[in-house]
Structure 1
Amino acid sequence: MDIIHFCHLSESDKRLPVYLTSAGQWNHQEPVHRPDGFASYQWLIILSGEGALHADDNVYSAKAGQAICLFPDVPHRYHAVQEPWQLMFISMEGSLCGPLLAQAGITKSGVFTMLDPVKMQADFSSIIEGAGSSDSHASVECSKLLYALLLDIPMQTQAKQHTRHQHFERLQPVIRYIKEYCQLPLSIDLLAQQAGVTPQYLCLLFKKAFNLRPMEYVNRERIQLSKELMVLEPQLKIQEIAGMAGFEHASYFCTVFKRLEGISPEKFKNSQSY
């Protein structure tokens, strides 16, 4: 049975960072042609059959186990190739929709393979059921479910999973080197040599794998080492700890520590006293 629910949204609902506008299921998806696109983000999962999506001058095959993401106001059309082409769909808006999709490497309309279709179908079913509820708090509850779904998408799709893993694997020699020698003076050139790449490409790999610059990663390892030193050798002074963790200046160590940990090294050290 076909299902569609439109959400009754208050002004406060529309101020949520993500909120549901509609949700449902089509057991026999009819052809859709939107020359001006659709006003909201849409996420559709294919339950059976196969279809084709035309968007951004590309044609994508979409079959069971895959999902379609449509960005607002982007012209598109889609239709069945092998019937029955059965879909679940959600439409959503809010300031965090784009950034949360971008975390999964999804920055434009397209088709993406789901790593765990059963879980995503269960998540969709919960959202669709919530959208059809007459409860006065239904829209807020749907927003919670939708937010959780969007947070899971990086782990649920292959849009970014494989490339991120490849970048991580490529950086393993560098990561091991930093772990072992973070207390020593390190440079971008030296780190790049460990992976056999140029310094510029090393920066790109770190950005794609960790969303950090290489020296930011080094500083995080140094802060971890400093915390271990504070716990294991409480007699050491902050300036001594800074030097042993690889920081040339204690003042810079204190700045980095507070930025990453939220408290000063002194407060952290005192909190570890037994």
Structure 2
Amino acid sequence: MHKRFELTPSTAQPFPLFIGSIGHHEEQEKMIRPQGLPFFHWLQTHSGEGEFTLGEKKYRLTKGSGVLLLPGTPHAYSALSEFWCTQYVTFGGNCVETILSTMDLLVSAVFRWDEEGPLQLELARILGKLDSDMEYSDYDASADLYYFFIQLKRHGQMNNRISIRNQMLHLQPLLDWLEADYGNPDIGLEQMAAVLAKTPRHLNTQFQHAFGLSPYAYLIMLRLRKSKEMLISQREKTITDIAVCVGFRDTSHFVASFRKQIGLTPERFRQMN
């Protein structure tokens, strides 16, 4: 059985992200596409398993795995089990590259996730709406596709990189420690790495993936957030007092950092709040 839906978004009001086609294929046949496809494509295993060739590498696509393909990416795939059931979606849009790039997903790659998690059910959810809801519109499909990529970003592991969700779980003990000890001016990268028994280099890589910041930049942002709370709730404290409380040794460094990030001096921020 091959269930397929084709959607044709309005050309008068182009969507930033739209579904071209979406389907469920009970018995996936062999495909060889040396020129790739002219559109963005996602394929995932619903049950059984297949072999996917991307570039020079071959990947086993079992339940809890899928592949994202950019236009023009050569690829091939075929069943490894007696029956390989797949689900797929082709898509495009005026802002598709920007959206995927912002999520760090603008790459042809294989993804893996917890097969019992929410990501596994997302395409089935969209297919179910298309099959049963007469009011389901292209706008709804566009919103659901965007949500699918949010779930992929949160739960998917791309090319053996740890998902954002798992990175946050690994970093949580350090985040809790910083929340309690941010006022210690002696905190540095070595001390932060020691909390998680990691090398400073490894910790820096994890923070960059999870926050787009170095660990020290994260600490500065935390200190500035705490200083904003104190400026409003503890008006009896001077700017110097607050600088010391949140871990700055030098008041001028605190003021310069605050102004750079907030756009106001601490004194002006307090006056406006």
Normalising by structure 2, report the TM-score.
Answer: 0.77
Is the CA contact 2:42–2:66 (under 8 Å) kept in the aligned structure 1?
A: yes
Partner of 1:3: 3
Q: Which residue of 2 aligns with 1:95?
A: 97
What is the rounded CA distance, in whole Å, between the counterparts of 1:66 and 1:59 in structure 2? 13
Contact in 2 for aligned 1:219/1:256 (Cα 8 Å):
no
Shift of 1:57: 0.9
- Of 253, 259, 273, the residue aligned with 1:255 is 259
On the 8 A contact 1:174/1:191 being kept in 2, the answer is: no
Q: Tell me whether 140-149 or 215-224 shows the greater mean CA deviation.
A: 215-224
Distance 1:167 1:151, change over 3 A: closer
Shift, 1:153, TM fit: 1.1
1:144 alignment counterpart: 143
Counterpart in the other structure of 2:30: 31
**CA shift in 2, pair 1:265/1:7, >3 Å:** farther
Matches within 5 A, 1:75-90: 75-90=74-89
Q: 1:89 Cα deviation (Å)? A: 1.0
State the alpha-carbon separation in 2 of the partners of residues 182 and 225 from structure 1.
9
- TM-aligned CA distance change 1:75 to 1:243, over 3 Å: same
* Distance in structure 1 (CA, Å) of the matches to 2:239 and 2:103: 42
Residue 241 of structure 2 aligns to a residue whose secondary structure is helix
Q: Give the alignment of 1:36-115 within 5 angstroms.
A: 36-93=35-92, 94-99=96-101, 102=104, 107-110=107-110, 112-115=111-114
Say if 1:169 and 1:121 are closer, same or farther in 2 by CA, change over 3 A. Answer: closer
User: What is the alpha-carbon root mean square deviation over aligned residues?
Assistant: 3.5
Decide which moves more: 247-256 or 86-95: 247-256
Over the matched positions of the two proteins, sequence identity in percent amounts to 22
- Cα contact 2:259–2:266 (8 A) shared by 1: no
Q: CA deviation at 1:79?
A: 0.9
State the Cα distance separating 1:78 from its structure 2 match: 0.7
- Runs of 4 or more, structure 1, over 6 Å off, are 193-198
Q: Which residue of 1 is the match for residue 152 of structure 2?
A: 153
Distance 1:55 1:62 in 2: 12
Q: Distance in 2 between matches of 1:168 and 1:218?
A: 18
Residue equivalent to 1:215 = 216
CA contact (8 A) 2:156 2:163 kept: no
- Which stretches in structure 2 are left out of the alignment for 5+ residues? none
Measured in 2, the distance between the counterparts of 1:61 and 1:200 equals: 32
Q: In the alignment, what sits opposite 2:238?
A: 237
In structure 2, distance between residues paired with 1:82 and 1:118: 23
Q: Relative to 1, partners in 2 of residues 1:236 and 1:156: Cα closer, same or farther, differing over 3 Å?
A: same
For residues 137 and 182 of structure 2, the distance between their equivalents in structure 1, rounded to whole angstroms, comes to 53
Structure 2: how far apart are the matches of 1:256 and 1:168?
30
1:229 shift after superposition: 2.5
Contact 1:167–1:209 (Cα < 8 Å) also in 2: yes
Matches within 5 A, 1:191-230: 200-230=201-231
Secondary structure (helix, strand or coil) at the match of 1:84 reads coil
Is the 8 Å Cα contact of residues 25 and 86 (structure 2) preserved in structure 1? yes
**TM-score, scaled to structure 1:** 0.77
The residue type paired with residue 144 of structure 2 is: L
**In structure 2, what residue type is equivalent to 1:206?**
F
Task: Specify whether residues 124 and 176 from structure 1 end up closer, same or farther in structure 2 by C-alpha distance, changes over 3 A only.
Answer: same
Residue identity matched to 1:86: C
Deviations 1:48-83 (A, max 9, x none): 222110111111111233223223211001111112
- Structure 1: runs of 5+ lacking an equivalent: none
- Measured at CA, do residues 63 and 57 of structure 1 come closer, stay the same or move farther in structure 2, by a change above 3 Å? same
The answer as to whether partners of 2:155 and 2:163 remain within 8 angstroms in 1 is: no
Q: Number of paired residues? A: 264
- What is the deviation of 1:223? 1.6
Cα contact 1:44–1:90 (8 A) shared by 2: yes
